[in-house]
Amino acid sequence: MDTTLKDPLVGQVLDGRYRVDARIAVGGMATVYRAVDTRLDRVLALKVMHPALATDASFVERFIREAKSVARLAHPNVVAVFDQGAEGAYVYLAMEYVAGCTLRDVLRERGALQPRAALDILEPVLAALGAAHRAGFVHRDMKPENVLIGDDGRVKVADFGLVRAIGSVTNTTGTVLGTVSYLAPEQIEYGTSDTRADVYACGVVLYEMLTGSKPHSGDTPAQVLFQHMNEDMPAPSALVPGLAVELDELVASATARNPEVRPYDAVALLAQARAARAPLSDEQLDLVPPQALATDDAGPAAAEPAPASEDATSVIPRVLPREEPGVNHTARLTMPPPEPPEPTRPTGRRAVPRRGVLAALVAVLLALGVGAGVWYINSGQFTRVPALIGKTEKDARQELKSAGLDVKKVRYDFSETVQRGTVIKTDPGTNERIRGNGSVTVFVSRGPEIVRVPDVKGKPLAQAESELEKAGLAPGVVTKEFSEEIEQGAVISTDPASGTRRSPDSAVAVVVSRGAPIDVPDVTGESVDDATSRLTGAGFKVKIASEQINSPEEAGSVAEQSVAEGTQLARGDTVTLTVSKGPRMLDVPDVVGLKVDEATSKLESAGFEVKVDKSFPFLGDTVESQSVAADQQAPEGSTITIKTKGL
């Protein structure tokens, strides 16, 4: 049933410009319509906030922030925002219209995807998020619903409605805005999200693409949240036997419960994804997920729509960090784990029961006549922050662990004086008193705010990428070009060029040499051995096609080559040769007694060339004889001579 007929906006014109034609989708905060910009005469998507939310200043602010944020992201994989405005109760964004479907639609229809398809979708998603992260934004609501797949195959990330500037991320008091199935543990527990929260969500999306199901499920959203916080992500290969271990490792890296061991941002995860894909064979990439996941003709069970509470963007009560023994804040989710153990102190390590230890200690102190409360307040409750400035992040973590303290978070700041990767300061500071089970924020240097692109021209790609990383930059897209001067596999140039000043972690595109171009010779008609010898001598690899074909060329010779004569390839590129089975033998029709034109047409239709031999003096236009008798066979494409009557 067409529900758009009941929508009051359909058929209206907003701001005297945008004609609303049809409703496309309804989300937790807004409805999306297909509309026409009557001023520019173009189709676009109109995202209109639900009128009930338009009275909430915070939601309107978030809506406007989305427009401003995405407007700064000129990226081919980000849905563009053209305009923002309001009319009456309707606050809207005018956005790029992508004809196609969402990744959620694909998963519901097909279930698990082949690894090649999953990676082909993941990589442009990470490219889009990488651009956002490097521009200083976090998406905060990555999920299949926000991945659009156009009819032309383009992949775009949409809905930056929850986007925040990285530097403005702060703790929330008791709730977090997002989608249950894709929230990172630190979002649930602390209400904080940086680039690594997007990385976690992308890991969940990748798991879902590879298996057709979400990694965690439950009867209530609280059960799902509890699993995200307390259970490691299962390996996709547990559901898809034969899945490459590299893909298991990629999912595990992106969805590590400890954000410190995840890739720092989407650019880093993109590099990991490409590294994971590189060693995979075609067989591994094209692995067909088992059909055992299908339960009936409706499609895979895993592809059935999840409860709205799991897929919708919503305000979710978060798990507040426990501040005192015996207080189970997980109960705020309304679903504590079955038969919970004694209250524990959450750390990045295995939690240790405390109630029994404290009770025993108090008993000993009372026996010695020492006031337990005084001891606990003045001695056992506090420690001092060790000196960590100048130490590596790894060493700092170890020293805090040895002191019985936790790392609350790690922040990365620029420093002109402190070496990249080492500690600038801590909060609380060195030697300051802190509760014995407290947490410390560590500030790590990103190096100078501006770095220079090193000169890597002529160096092998691996060495060049290593030098870029040492300089504090990120290796970017690699393209290949022919070069007469630069050795094959070495760097021709970078963009930006060497010596250019850039912010740390900026991506640097690299152009790699394919070596000098080589013209491909024509080897059709030659024997396979001769053709192979000529091509390998020119510097190419040769592959023989498994199937042979009929052709005018002699049987056993080369009928076709995959790359045409004169095309330029690089040394080591492959040319595939197809071997001829010889021409097909065809039956010759009888054309004696027919007019020349009729006979010619009949022979050509049968697959032959025709030559007419007119006798002299010319007495008529009737065929007297043919060079190959009727009902005999001749090679396809060969010439049949017909002769007319004479004296």
Report the distance separating Cα 499 and Cα 496, nearest Å.
8
**Of the residues 96, 124, 153, which one is the last residue of a structural domain?**
96
Report the distance separating Cα 263 and Cα 275, nearest Å.
13
| CATH code, domain carrying 202 | 1.10.510.10
Report the distance separating Cα 271 and Cα 77, nearest Å.
17
Q: Does any domain span residue 347? A: no
Q: Does any domain span residue 308? A: yes
CA distances (Å), origin 600, targets 450, 490, 593, 610, 641: 79, 61, 12, 6, 10
Please give the pLDDT value at position 316: 52
The continuous run of DSSP H or E covering 26 comes out as strand 18-26
Long-range interactions of 352-359: CB distance < 8 A, separation 24+: 354/325, 355/325, 355/326, 358/325
Clarify whether residues 281 and 402 are in a common domain: no
Q: Does any domain span residue 79? A: yes
Task: Report the DSSP beta bridge partners of residue 439.
Answer: 406
Clarify whether residues 231 and 134 are in a common domain: yes
The string of pLDDT tens digits covering residues 491-523 is: 999 999 999 988 777 889 999 999 999 999 999
Clarify whether residues 283 and 151 are in a common domain: yes
Please give the pLDDT value at position 332: 34
Beta strands in 214-303, from DSSP E residues, in sequence order: 294-296, 299-300
Q: How many domains does the chain have?
A: 7
Please give the pLDDT value at position 381: 54
Task: Report the DSSP beta bridge partners of residue 84.
Answer: 93
Clarify whether residues 197 and 311 are in a common domain: yes
Query: Domain containing 525: what range?
Result: 518-579
The bridge status of strand 639-644 relative to strand 406-413 is unpaired
Which residues does the chain have with pLDDT short of 70? 1-5, 65-66, 69, 161-178, 291-382, 416, 436, 615-619, 646-647
The number of beta carbons lying within 10 Å of the beta carbon of residue 302 is 21
Clarify whether residues 132 and 260 are in a common domain: yes
Clarify whether residues 392 and 367 are in a common domain: no
Clarify whether residues 195 and 257 are in a common domain: yes
The number of beta carbons lying within 10 Å of the beta carbon of residue 389 is 14
| CATH code, domain carrying 397 | 3.30.10.20
Please give the pLDDT value at position 256: 93
3-state SS track over 496-564: CCCCCEECCCCEEEEEEECCCCEECCCCCCCEHHHHHHHHHHHCCEEEECCCCECCCCCCCEEEEECCC
**Of the residues 449, 470, 497, which one is the last residue of a structural domain?**
449
- Residue 113: alpha-carbon gap to chain centroid: 13
- Residue 566: alpha-carbon gap to chain centroid: 37
Clarify whether residues 282 and 198 are in a common domain: yes
Q: Does any domain span residue 224? A: yes
| CATH code, domain carrying 38 | 3.30.200.20
DSSP helix/strand/coil, 480: strand
**Of the residues 560, 579, 598, which one is the last residue of a structural domain?**
579
Please give the pLDDT value at position 437: 73
Please give the pLDDT value at position 17: 93
Q: Count Cα atoms within 13 angstroms, Cβ side, for 127.
A: 18
Report the distance separating Cα 444 and Cα 430, nearest Å.
15
Contacts of 632 (CB under 8 A, 6+ apart): 587, 588
Enumerate the active-site residues. 141
Q: Does any domain span residue 342? A: no
Question: What is the dihedral sign for C-alpha 363, 366, 367, 368?
Answer: positive
Q: Count Cα atoms within 13 angstroms, Cβ side, for 107.
A: 26
Clarify whether residues 118 and 240 are in a common domain: yes
Q: Does any domain span residue 537? A: yes
The continuous run of DSSP H or E covering 322 comes out as none
Q: Does any domain span residue 473? A: yes
Clarify whether residues 66 and 180 are in a common domain: no
Q: Does any domain span residue 328? A: no
Q: Which of 381, 385, 378 is nearest to 403 (CA)?
A: 385
Clarify whether residues 86 and 105 are in a common domain: no
Clarify whether residues 483 and 553 are in a common domain: no
Please give the pLDDT value at position 313: 55
